[in-house]
Amino acid sequence: MTAQPTADLLYTPDEEDLRRSVRKLLSQKATPEANAAVYDQPLEGVAPVWGELAGVGLAALLVPEEHGGAGATAREAAIAAEELGRNVAPTPFLTSAVIATTVLAHAGATDRLEALAAGESVAALALPFSARTLPAPSVTADGGRLSGRITSVAGAPGADLLIVPVVDGATTRLHLVDVGSEGVTVTPVLSLDMTRQLADIELTGAAGEALEGDASAAVEAGLLTGAALLASEQLGVAEWCLETTLDYAKTRHQFGRPIGSYQALKHRFADLFLDVSLARAAARYAADCAARGDADLAVAASVAQSFCSAVSVKAAEECVQLHGGIGMTWEYPAHLYLKRAKADQVALGTGAAHRAALGGLVGLPPA
């Protein structure tokens, strides 16, 4: 048996080069003003940013080279997720380039991957964004026609391809549904985080292309990889909040002193710095396990999700509060990070759901 490579949580020079490229592009194309604008016109704000990112290869990271992709690993995808979190950019990276791409690859629908890698197509897995595992499908097949309703699907607004779990006879199968086809209705809903908008999907006799791969295994792989990399996005949110708030505390004066010089605030910053450092370790381990195909991935992903989601929210709340009055304003971007952090906290399974799953994974019975 070949020995499995050991974990490596350090960033490589190539990963840092990727980070610099993505950060530079986002600073130019996804400014705080542009990100806030999607609350008025969601879809108009997403397409231009994603087109730029797909052009430099972010959509292709997890697509094998033989299918037109970059052939990268989850480690590189995690770098992109960190930077997208730092920017709260309105993109379908997580929903299309990570979750949907992983599901299609595991289900054997490799003919669809080239268009996703090139940014010519955007896909979404038609499940509620809160799902940690595959729930009982709400869509049924009758003579090759699909009918049913799925609520709160992330990435559905702007997607042109839906991956729909369907009750087909006595089994669950995946069907590919083109959004523009007859009998498909995608209704965007008001979302807490409009930079990742949700939608309800209604299928009424819609045509679907059935996939032969194992539906449960493919969906579980997509959700697990998504949860592992969502932790990196949450890390990016927390890092931005910590760094930005710390810089503000050094320059904002009260009673003739920088507010960061007061001991009570020093303690809060120290606690938050420790939390973010621990979150970085958890997120990096989850991404590294996904990259190596480590058997510990399920444990690593649940540990990362249960911890990083809470740290992300805490960092965003501290950011808003320690900025004082300006932190409450629409013009300052702190509210975008708090909304992303809170929305991500219930995405792909809540922290409580992941902790409950951990009990079974590591052999700890419920109390």
Whole-prediction pTM value? 0.93
- For residue 146, give the CATH number of its domain: 2.40.110.10
Chain-centre distance for alpha carbon 37: 20
pLDDT at 3: 44
8 assigned to some structural domain = no
Q: What percent of the chain has pLDDT over 70?
A: 96
The reply to whether 41 and 55 lie within a common domain is yes
State pLDDT tens for residues 282-328.
999 999 999 999 999 999 999 999 999 999 999 999 999 888 888 88
What pLDDT is stored for residue 236 in this prediction? Answer: 96
Confidence of residue 39 (pLDDT cuts 50, 70, 90): confident
Is the same domain home to 113 and 182? no
Residue ranges making up the domain that contains 153:
125-213
CATH code (residue 338): 1.20.140.10
- 95: domain CATH number? 1.10.540.10
Are 20 and 137 contained in the same domain? Answer: no
What tens digit of pLDDT does each residue of 48-61 get? 788 889 888 999 99
Q: Which of 164, 185, 213 is the last residue of a domain?
A: 213
| 112 and 147 both lie in a single domain | no
Of 65, 46, 63, 57, give the one whose Cα is nearest residue 17.
57
Q: Rounded mean pLDDT of the chain? A: 90
Q: Are residues 142 and 25 in the same domain?
A: no
Could you tell me if 133 and 114 lie in one domain?
Answer: no
Alpha helices in 155-262 (DSSP H): 215-251
Is residue 161 a part of any domain in this protein?
A: yes
Q: What is the mean pLDDT of residues 242-247?
A: 92
Q: Are residues 347 and 221 in the same domain?
A: yes
* DSSP one-letter string for 59-110: GGTTS-GGGTS----HHHHHHHHHHHHHHT----IIIIIIIIHHHHHHHT-G
268, 245: one domain: yes
Does residue 260 sit in the same domain as residue 192?
no
For 193-222, how does the pLDDT look when each residue is reduced to its tens digit (9 = 90+)? Answer: 999 999 999 999 999 899 988 999 999 999
Contact 230, 311 (CB under 8 A): no
- Give me the pLDDT at residue 261, please: 66
% of the chain exceeding 90 in pLDDT: 66
Specify the DSSP class assigned to residue 44.
H
In this structure, are 233 and 286 located in the same domain? Answer: yes
Assigned domain for 157 exists: yes
Do the domain assignments include residue 357? Answer: yes
* Domain presence at residue 7: no
The pLDDT of residue 144 is above 90: no
Q: Tell me, yes or no, whether 76 lies in a domain.
A: yes
Per residue in 91-116, pLDDT (tens digit) is: 999 999 999 999 999 998 989 999 99
Residue 3 domain-assigned (yes or no): no
Q: Give which of 352, 75, 366, 358 is closest to 229, Cα–Cα.
A: 75
pLDDT band with cut points at 50, 70 and 90 for residue 78? very high
Q: How many CB atoms lie within 10 A of CB 202?
A: 15
DSSP string, 306-320: HHHHHHHHHHHHHHH
pLDDT digits 0-9 by tens, 251-292:
877 777 776 667 888 899 899 999 999 999 999 999 999 999
Residues 6 or more apart from 15 whose CB is under 8 A from it? 75, 76, 79
- Same domain? For 172 and 47 the reply is no
Specify the residue for token string 């980070």: 19
Number of domains observed in the structure of the chain: 3
The residue out of 213, 247, 264 marking a domain boundary is 213
**Res 337 pLDDT > 90:** yes
Same domain, 345 and 268: yes
Residues 336 and 195: beta-carbon distance below 8 Å: yes
Domain boundary among 213, 247, 277: 213
**Within a domain: residue 199?**
yes
